[in-house]
């Protein structure tokens, strides 16, 4: 039988884990005649009782494996750690808060069996999320698609099934500033969309604050395109045209009307405009330089404290 690894990053999810296990257990028992399962939970440096609960679940069910990271490295790195430790013929990413319903997994497996390499779940609704979060998410995907040359799936998260060859491809991408949603599109392979309604969190509060969402959006844009660097060119052309037209107007007006030119206000406005433009461009260049800085360090992306109760030496 084929082996399926379900990778679940977990950060301070003590309130959700028992609910998660109950639903996964029912699903795995139901499909046990066709597949063997591994549930790989990656504890991303949780400060609550997440680790203790994972140890408890492991003793209860050997299908439960866990990787305990040495500190909080972020969801993207936790997902990569899951790929590194997964042993299945395919992997399924899902969240620990049950916004991604495990009951959709049989449909993902059905399309995988038909030959699709990347079966991704597309959200048709987002229950329990604010209007602002829905609006900014929609705006982000629109901007990301407009500046990249790779087709990015809209309204999709990390909930998806990936064949082993997709896993092997993703494991070769070791950059520290990661955006998995873009990477899933970049590697290609045969893809299939499965629509679903996203549920609200089963317990606890979301860990995705607006600051994290902004950081993720910037990483997604700057990791896969150099288009923002071209803003200087796009701004320079209309700026010089506007300046040429403005000075032509000033000269013509001064010649034909013989009136003094009130240049102080115009100079101040132009100074403010160019100062703002320069600051914006330096900010964009700084984002890319920052990413070069991180990548040239060539540090390990994460360290593991414990795997299924065994301490890691990182030798």
Cα dist from 96 to 20, 121, 167, whole Å: 7, 16, 20
Q: Return the percentage of the chain with pLDDT > 90, whole number.
A: 4
Residue-level pLDDT at 215:
61
Q: Which residues of 114-146 are buried (b: 16+ CB within 10 A; e: fewer)?
A: eebbbbbbbbeebeebeeeeeeebeebbeebee
pTM over 0.75: no
Provide the mean pLDDT of the chain. 76
Let me know: does 314 contact 304? Beta carbons within 8 Å: yes
Mean pLDDT of 129-150: 62
Could you tell me which residue, 82 or 128, shows the higher pLDDT? 82
Residues 6+ apart with CB under 8 A from 241: none
Cα dist from 195 to 27, 100, 153, 208, whole Å: 19, 12, 12, 23
Confidence of residue 260 (pLDDT cuts 50, 70, 90): low
User: What's the token pair of residue 285?
Assistant: 């260049």
Question: Is the per-residue pLDDT at 209 higher than 60?
Answer: no
What distance in Å separates the CA atoms of residue 277 and residue 233, rounded to the nearest whole number? 11
Give the tens place of pLDDT for each residue, 148-180. Answer: 666 666 667 788 899 998 889 888 888 777 777
Give the tens place of pLDDT for each residue, 6-58. Answer: 999 888 888 888 888 888 888 889 888 889 999 999 988 888 888 888 888 88
Mean pLDDT of 279-287: 69
Could you tell me which residue, 314 or 270, shows the higher pLDDT? 270
């Amino acid at each position: 039988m084929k082996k399926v690894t379900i990778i679940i990053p977990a950060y301070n999810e003590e309130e959700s884990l028992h609910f998660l296990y109950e639903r996964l257990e029912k699903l795995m028992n139901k499909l046990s005649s066709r597949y063997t399962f591994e549930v790989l939970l990656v504890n991303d440096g949780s400060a609550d009782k997440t680790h203790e609960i994972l140890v408890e679940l492991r003793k209860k069910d050997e299908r439960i494996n866990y990787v305990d990271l040495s500190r909080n490295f972020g969801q993207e790195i936790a997902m990569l750690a899951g790929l590194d430790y997964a042993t299945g013929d395919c992997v399924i990413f899902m969240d620990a808060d049950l916004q991604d319903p495990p009951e959709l997994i049989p449909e993902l497996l059905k399309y995988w069996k038909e030959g699709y390499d990347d079966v991704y779940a597309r959200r048709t609704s987002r229950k329990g999320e604010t209007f602002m979060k829905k609006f900014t998410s929609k705006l982000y995907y629109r901007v990301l698609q407009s500046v990249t040359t790779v087709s990015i799936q809209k309204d999709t998260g990390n909930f998806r099934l990936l064949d082993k060859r997709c896993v092997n491809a993703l494991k070769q991408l070791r950059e520290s500033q990661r955006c998995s949603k873009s990477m899933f599109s970049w590697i290609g392979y045969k893809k299939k969309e499965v629509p679903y309604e996203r549920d609200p969190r089963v317990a606890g509060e979301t860990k995705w604050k607006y600051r994290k969402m902004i950081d993720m959006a910037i990483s997604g844009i700057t990791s896969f395109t150099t288009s923002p660097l071209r803003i200087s060119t796009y701004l320079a052309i209309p700026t010089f045209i506007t300046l040429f037209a403005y000075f032509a107007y000033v000269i013509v007006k001064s010649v034909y009307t013989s009136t003094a030119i009130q240049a102080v206000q115009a100079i101040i406005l132009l100074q403010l405009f160019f100062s703002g433009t320069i600051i914006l461009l330096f900010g964009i260049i700084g984002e890319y330089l920052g990413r070069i800085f991180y990548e040239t360090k060539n540090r390990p992306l994460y360290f593991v404290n414990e795997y299924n109760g065994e301490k890691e030496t990182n030798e």
